[in-house]
Amino acid sequence: MKWTTGLGSLATCAFTIAAVAAAPSPAAHAKNGDTHIIGQGIEQVVDCNDATLIVNGTSNIVTAKGNCWAVTVMGSSNTVVADNVTHDITVYGYDETVFFHTGDPFIWDRGRELGMTNRLQRVGP
């Protein structure tokens, strides 16, 4: 083995780690205090408070009042009805339902990409 090759790789690795550590973190517009609903068969009304609502489990029913920065749903057979969603709705899983009244969020249905059926749509006036 040539030492110059080994040292060159080591130097490249060290430079890459230093560059990644020095890179500024991306700006996030959401705020602390995301709401997590985790479980099975939970029925809950929450205030989004401009943060992200995360629902993980099975057969949960969540009514989100106020403005949600984002809504993320994982699992199966969960239902979320949100007043307003600002940034995005992301759904993983099967038989998920997310309805929202206002806002223009990006909708990303990861379950549908894998052939699963979910319902994500604007409802009401």
Express each pLDDT in 24-50 by its tens digit: 544 445 567 899 999 999 999 999 999
- Which parts of the chain sit beneath pLDDT 50? 10, 13-16, 18-20, 23, 25-28
CA atoms of 54 and 47, how far apart (whole Å): 12
- Cα-flanking dihedrals φ and ψ of residue 4, to 5°? -65, -35
The pLDDT value given to residue 29: 54
CA atoms of 67 and 72, how far apart (whole Å): 14
The pLDDT value given to residue 3: 52
Spatial CB neighbours of 56, under 8 Å, sequence gap ≥ 6: 36, 37, 38, 73, 74, 75
Q: What is the pTM of this model?
A: 0.74
- Cα-flanking dihedrals φ and ψ of residue 28, to 5°? -115, 135
Instruction: Count Cα atoms within 13 angstroms, Cβ side, for 64.
Output: 34
